Amino acid sequence: MFVLQSKKLKPRGGGHRRSLRSPVWCLVILFAGLFFSRAEAAPQTNATVRVAGIVLKWIRADKEANLRRLDPLVREAVRGGARIVVTTECFLDGYAIKDKSILLADYRDLGERIPDGNYFQRLAALAGELKIHLVAGMNEADGELRYNTSVLIGPDGKLIGKYRKHALEHELVRNTPGTNTPAFETDFGRLGMMICADRKHPDLVSRIVAEGAEFLLCPSGGMFGPKSNDPILQARSRENGRYIVFVHPCEFLVTGPDGSILTATILGSTLEISSGEAGSEKDSKRVFFFDLPLQTR
């Protein structure tokens, strides 16, 4: 807050003194006070936060290529005003768990240590540089265990927390299920995450909301579209009265607290591409935005 102190002006060239208590000066001070008060309060009136979903095809088992392809899209999201940026499920390793022909040792080598891994550190540096909250999916290495994990990195480039997928289904042969249902404190309220098949389990989603999640993000990579996927997210939103932002290699979807679809776009029909197809017509990718209403706190 700017404070204007009242004081008398020194006379100039024998002129008379002009007091700040005169009607003209009172008006000047009044309008200046109103201007600065409004300037200080303006940021507190924002009712939304812009969320960006990075719809990007996977390149299987190539962490370097996937991060390189993600970087310019995250920067585009920030230029578009995004404060929260969300990737797909396991964007970093290209959802390598889907391909069981990958040798187990090679699959395990794709695991990323959190927060000490090289690629995690590069993602953290990106979030810190751009001053955003970044949600990024990866195959996490924790000792001998491997998890399907989404991390939340803060605008200071530090790990806020991580969520490990519970409903693994075919992944159980190599991955370990998560057990926690955290909600994470951010500048925009408490954020909850679920990953792909977790959305099919009402009790699991309700536990995340019970932890205080005010909105939900769902990095995904399985089924998509209005027949097989969208009604599931609509039901979870309606049951819990929460917005859900769904980010998938082929779809960006947002459902409202009443179960309505607020935005939905299908982008291509292929979840993954080969390295040689990068940049081709098959490599459809795009940054999608949604201005997420914030709860009054």
Closest Cα to residue 289, out of 75, 80, 136? 80
What's the predicted TM-score (pTM) here?
A: 0.84
| Domain boundaries defined on the chain | 1-45, 48-293
Q: Which residues, 6 or more positions from 253, have their beta carbon under 8 angstroms from its beta carbon?
A: 229, 230, 233, 245, 246, 261, 263, 264, 265
- Give the Å distances, CA to CA, from 224 to 201, 235, 257, 264: 16, 15, 20, 11
For 224-280, what is each residue's pLDDT tens digit? 999 999 999 999 999 999 999 999 999 999 999 999 999 999 999 999 999 999 999
Q: Is the distance from CB of 89 to CB of 195 less than 8 angstroms?
A: yes
Cα distances from 295 to residues 41, 70, 241, 242, in angstroms, run 18, 30, 11, 10
Q: Which two tokens stand for residue 78?
A: 């920030």
Q: How far apart are CA 162 and CA 240, in angstroms?
A: 22
Kindly calculate the radius of gyration of the chain based on its CA atoms and give it in whole angstroms. Answer: 24
pLDDT attached to residue 295: 87
Structure tokens at 113: 């240590």
Average pLDDT of the chain?
88
- Which band of pLDDT confidence, cut at 50, 70 and 90, is reported for residue 13? very low
Quickly state the pLDDT bin for 8 (edges 50, 70, 90): very low
Structure tokens at 156: 């200071």
CB 51 within 8 A of CB 86: yes
Q: Report phi then psi at 163, rounded to 5.
A: -125, 130
Sheet containing 183-186, strands listed edge to edge, beginning at the edge strand earlier in sequence: 183-186, 189-193, 215-219, 244-247, 251-255, 261-266
CA-to-CA separations, 76 to 53, 79, 111, in angstroms, rounded: 11, 5, 28
Planar angle of CA 168, 232, 297, nearest 5 degrees: 95
Going by C-alpha positions, the residue among 209, 256, 253, 259 that lies closest to residue 234 is 259
Strands 215-219, 189-193: parallel, antiparallel or unpaired by DSSP?
Answer: parallel
User: pLDDT band at 297, cuts 50/70/90?
Assistant: low
Note the CATH number of domain 48-293: 3.60.110.10
> Could you read off the pLDDT of 24-76 as tens digits, one per residue?
444 433 444 433 333 333 333 469 999 999 999 999 999 999 999 999 999 99
pLDDT at 207 over 70: yes
